[in-house]
Amino acid sequence: MTNYTQGTARYVSPKKKGFFQKLASQWQLALMSVPIFLYVLLFNYFPMWGWRNAFLDYSSKKLVARGITPYIGFDNFKWLFSRQDFLLSIRNTLAMSLINLVFGTVSAIVLAVLLNEVRQKMFKRTVQTITYLPHFLSMVIIVAMAQNIFASNGPVNDLLGLLGIQPVFWLGEGKHFWWLVGIINVWKEVGWGTIIYISAMTAIDPALYEAASIDGAGRFQKILHVTLPGIKSTFVILLIMNIGHLMEAGFEIQYLLGNGLTAEFSRTIDVFVLEYGTSQMDFGVATAAGIFKSVVAIILLLGANFISRRLGEDTLV
């Protein structure tokens, strides 16, 4: 082995530097990047050491106060899955993120197609500027608005009244909560979601549209056979990314808009973690719930990526 290494040494020119010599000569690059790298290690990787909390018992306030947290193996996880409210929070998370994914994607693609068909530049730009606006509003502001709009005597119920439909108690009945979140999210993000699809549409070769016209295709056929296939790969990449984020139904809107009456439908895993972790100070259970979420998210991401590769589409990883 040593002989072999020595034997190949003649191919290495004497000028070729080792890793540390190279690094020393690149000290300026190192100075510009290593401090931030250490920062990221501290804020993104060091907290993973905190995952050990998931295997410790924080349930006894007396012991915790004395700094004693016994090791209990997977008991926190077992306890979690025996809890009805945790199982419901998994259901709520998946339900709301699926509603967001389906309606968010469909509405963004439909709006992108409609905008792509607009010929007057000014009108197109105006629609874009206005529909981007809600993306920049904070969730606090959006919930404040939603409380006006969906109030029992608010505009939405007035509109339903004109159509002869009985007023709906939007904010106080759990069964409406998922759809309320879906509606609000579509309202907030539909314009923003079009940006990527529109940029993919501008990359479509205009010759394809001309060829389709010569073949006698009308507007709808051009949309169906040129525009939509043109954004397919963008759609697949975004779908993979979104499937990786299926466990992230968010917590801001649920936390702000939910109340005691709707808790059964509004509590997501994140809200559950927040309640157990920061209100009840049971770091063990809350960390375990967080780990469960991360593990499922990684499995989903890799799974979607694998399926996409099998289908011969673009992949993320």
Partner 1 sequence: MTNASYQNQKVRKHYDVAFPIVNTVILILLMFVTLYPVINTVAYSFNDGTDALKAGIGLWPRVFSTKSYESILSDPAVYQAAWISASKTVIITVLNLFWTSMLAYTLTRKEYVLRKVITTMMVLTMYVNAGLIPNYLLISRTLHLRNTYWVYIIPTMFSCFNMVVLRTYIAGLPEALVESARIDGAGDIRIFWQIIFPLCKPVLATVALFVAVGSWNSWFDTHLYNASKTELHSLQYLLKMKLATTNQSANAANASVEALTSSAASKTTPVTIRCAITVVSTVPILVVYPFLQKYFVTGMVLGSVKG
Please report, as residue ranges, which positions from 266 to 295 form the binding site for partner 1 (by CB under 8 A): 270, 273-274, 277-278, 283, 286-287, 290-291, 293-294
Cβ distance to partner 1 smaller for residue 8 or 279: 279
Question: Is residue 72 packed enough to be buried (19+ CB in 10 Å), middle (13-18) or exposed (0-12)?
Answer: middle
Cβ distance to partner 1 smaller for residue 7 or 260: 260
Alpha helices in 151-282 (DSSP H): 155-162, 174-202, 206-214, 219-222, 228-230, 232-244, 252-257, 263-266, 269-274
Q: Which residues contact 249 (CB under 8 A, 6 or more apart)?
A: 92, 93, 94, 96, 97, 100, 268, 269, 270
226-255 residues near partner 1, rule: CB under 8 A: 234, 237-238, 241, 244, 252
> Which of these ranges, 62-70, 71-79, 90-98, 126-134, lies near partner 1 under the rule CB under 8 A?
126-134
For residue 268, report the phi and psi dihedrals to the nearest 5 degrees. Answer: -95, 175
Taking CB under 8 A as the criterion, the residue among 101, 111, 181, 249 binding partner 1 is: 111
208-227 residues near partner 1, rule: CB under 8 A: 216, 218-220
Taking CB under 8 A as the criterion, the residue among 141, 211, 299, 307 binding partner 1 is: 141
Contact flags string 25-64 toward partner 1, x per CB under 8 A: -x-xxxxxxx-xx-xxxxxxxxxxxxx-x-----------
By the 8 A CB rule, do 266 and 253 touch?
no
Q: What residue type is 16 in one-letter code?
A: K
Q: Which two tokens stand for residue 80?
A: 């979690």
- Least distance to partner 1 from the beta carbon of 239, Å? 13
Cβ distance to partner 1 smaller for residue 1 or 209: 209
